Chain A
């Protein structure tokens, strides 16, 4: 933090920490339309290819004694499967491919975004809000389809004293609708902040005296970002499981 204050005093330094998040077309200039091939398209496609490489090509030998890639694929499978089973319950296993899709996409988008010069789709609210809304809509629809009106019991805390219940119901409803907001901002915010901070530290590297410190700081931040990449994917997935559990078993 002291470094930042020093750097600001220097002046003349050029910081564009947010430039890495700009969406731009890959071919030609012009506006970004809905179907334009942009850097978003490229890095999402790379994430898709990475998922296919790991989960399909990596397991193509179907070995009983797995190789390295197959071990990783099985590890990912077991990790998410166990999470769904433990957190959301055994009857949520039908949602496993859906949750696995979310997890694999976020993990690979995050990790590919850590490559130098990369673009990180998950740093954009457009992406994370959409992901969170998908989860929110799924959970709400599943809740009403499976439980009917009983799903509203989620907001009616039957274990609380009768007088408190309406107040709690209002709080519960607000918290329910805030879920997709926190769900999406948490992911995009974490990823964006880390990447922006790395860029800021990189800006300081222009000053010869500070540059060793800057490199150390970038390395440290990068390590932290590797952790954050996985942890945020994990958090997003486990929250999805928690919400799904509410939808399947709304009683408190």
Chain B
């Protein structure tokens, strides 16, 4: 508002468009050139190299990081392969050991069973022999008892028993 007079003067000089007031073109062009030169020097000397360097550095960092990540990924994959291989090896080894142990145990078991069978057989035959002996003895005892009893009975009935006859009679009876 303070420059009312100037404004009026300006309007007088350029009634339509102030843009077509050629009297101040020199002024505008001078200051434009000053502004452009300042911006050009600031940009080309300071700002653009700096930003370019920052961008390049960032690109480098990113590339490095990606390469590193790639490497780590490869390492991890290798480790996984090694792990799987170790696992498979361990598993097959365990299977071998299991089979071996099983076979050994089977062998021991078979041997023990055979031995036990033999022992059982021996014991059985021994027992049978003892039983047979006992039976034999029992038979003898029965014969003696039967003879004695027969002799007593015959004596009690008033007869006179001949030992030979009684023996043969008892023998005949027991066979029957």
Residues on A facing B (Cβ under 8 Å)? 18-19, 21-25, 29-36, 38, 40-41, 44-45, 47-48, 51-52, 55-56, 59, 62-64, 66, 70, 73-74, 77-78, 96-98, 100-102, 104-105, 121, 123-127, 130-131, 134, 188, 192
Q: Closest CB of chain B to A250's CB: distance in Å?
A: 26
A124 pairs with B57, CB closer than 8 A: no
6 more A-B contacts (CB under 8 A) besides A74-B54, A124-B28?
A18-B17, A24-B3, A32-B24, A51-B39, A126-B25, A130-B29
The segment from B4-12, B138-146, B147-155, B156-164 found at the interface with A is B4-12
Asked if B83 is at the interface (CB within 8 A of a chain A CB), the reply is: no
In contact, B43 and A97 (Cβ under 8 angstroms): yes
- Whether B50 and A35, one on each chain, are in contact in the complex, defined by CB atoms closer than 8 angstroms, is no
Interface 0/1 of B40-71, CB less than 8 Å to A: 10111011101111110110010000000000
Asked if B6 contacts A29 (CB within 8 A), the reply is: yes
**Once the chains are docked, how many angstroms separate the CA of A33 from the CA of B21?**
13
Contact A55–B32 (Cβ < 8 Å):
no
Complex Cα distance A126/B34, Å?
A: 14
Q: Kindly name the residue among B17, B48, B52, B53 whose own CB sees the greatest number of chain A CB atoms within 10 A.
A: B48
B120 within 8 A of A: no
Chain B: CB-nearest residue to A134: B36
Decide if B19 touches A40 in the complex (CB within 8 Å). Answer: no
Closest to B51 in A: A77
Which 5 residue pairs of A and B lie closest in terms of their CB atoms, listed nearest first? A55-B47, A97-B44, A126-B28, A126-B25, A44-B35
Query: In the complex the two chains form, is A74's CB within 8 Å of B51's CB?
Result: yes
Q: Please list 12 pairs of residues, one from A and one from B, whose beta carbons are closer than 8 Å in the complex, sorted by A's number.
A: A19-B7, A23-B24, A24-B3, A24-B10, A44-B34, A62-B53, A73-B47, A77-B52, A98-B40, A101-B36, A101-B44, A126-B25
Residue of A nearest to B34 (CB): A44
Residues of B within 8 A of A31 (CB): 23
CB distance from A231 to the nearest CB of B (A): 21
Q: Is B38 positioned at the interface, with any CB of A under 8 Å from its CB? A: yes
